[in-house]
Amino acid sequence: MLLKNAYIYRITGTPTITADALEPQLKSQAFRPCSGIRPSSFGWISPLGDIEGPLTHEVSGSILLCAKREDKIVPSSALVDLLAEKIERLEQLEGRKIFNKEKLRLKDDAMAELLPRALPRSKQILGYLTPSDKLLVIGTTSVSEAELFINCVRNSLGSFPVVPPQVSSKPTEIFTHWLKSRKLPEHFSLGNSCDLLDPEEGATITCRRQDLDTNEIRNHIDAGKICTKIGINWHGDLNVVVDKELSLKQIKLQNSDNKTDEYDDPIATLDAAFVNMTLEFSRFLPALFSALGGESRE
C-alpha cells in the first residue's frame, strides 16, 4: 500500500475541489527550508518527487498531495551546556544569583544562538483528496502531523472544513464485542494484535502477533477490560489495525506490491499504487463504518 498508516477525515459542506484549481492555491504554502532561527517548516512539494513538478497529481478522481516537514534539532546537551555557561558568565559579571525568570530569557537566547547551526531533519507526508466521496486521507501515525497537513490545506484554500468520521456506535464497545463473541460482520475477521485497557485501574495489555481467538483474550474481556485498538482482516487480503479514533495503522494489502513492480516508469508505478489504494479504501472504509453502526454524514 502507498500509505502504511492513515488518519481519515470527511470534508463537510459542498466545496468544489479540482486539481487544476488546487495547483495555484497550494503554491502560497509551498515548502521553504528552515533558515536562521526558524525552528521548523511545513509546506507542499511535488508528490512526483520532482523539485519543479506540480504540487498535485490526480488519478481516477483522487488528488495526491505531498507535504514536507523540516525541524531543526538542537541537542538538549548543547542547550544545557550553553545555558549554564551564560548563567555563570552573568552571575560573575553582576555578582548576584540569576533567578528563574532570567534563566528562561537566557534559555531563549541560547536556543536562538544554536538554531542557525542546528542540523535539519525532514520527512514527507502523503495524503489524498477524493472530492466525490468528500474524503481526506493523510498518511501519518501522528494526529499533530495530520492537523498540520489540514491546516496547510486550509491556509492554501482559505477554508477547508473537515471532521473525523462520525459513527453511531462507540468503537471500543464494538471492538470489545468482537473479541468476546468472536463474531465479526461479513468479510471481516480478527487479526493478530489488540490493545486492552482496564478502565478503572488504567492498566493496559498490548498483544502483538497473537491469536485473538483464544480464551486468554476472552478472560481479559470478562474481567472488565475494553479493547481500544484491534487488528482486523477484510476480504482476506487487507490487514489493518484500527484504533478507537478510527485511525488506521500497519495497513497491508496482500500482493499489492507485486502488482506495481512490473512498471519501469516511476510515475506509472506511483499511479498503479495510488489507484490500487484509493479503490481499496473506497470499498473498505464504508464497510468499516457500517460495521461500527453506520456513519452520520450530517
Per residue in 66-76, pLDDT tens? 999 999 888 88
Q: What is the mean pLDDT of residues 176-181?
A: 94
**Mind listing the pLDDT tens digit for each residue in 9-64?**
999 976 678 899 999 999 999 999 887 777 889 999 999 988 789 999 999 999 99
165-182 b/e with 16+ CB inside 10 Å = b?
Answer: bebeeebbebbbebbeee
Domains of the chain, residue spans: 7-71+120-163, 76-116, 171-291
What pLDDT is stored for residue 97 in this prediction? 87
pLDDT of residue 100: 87
Type and span of the H or E element at 221:
helix 215-222
Amino acid at 101: K
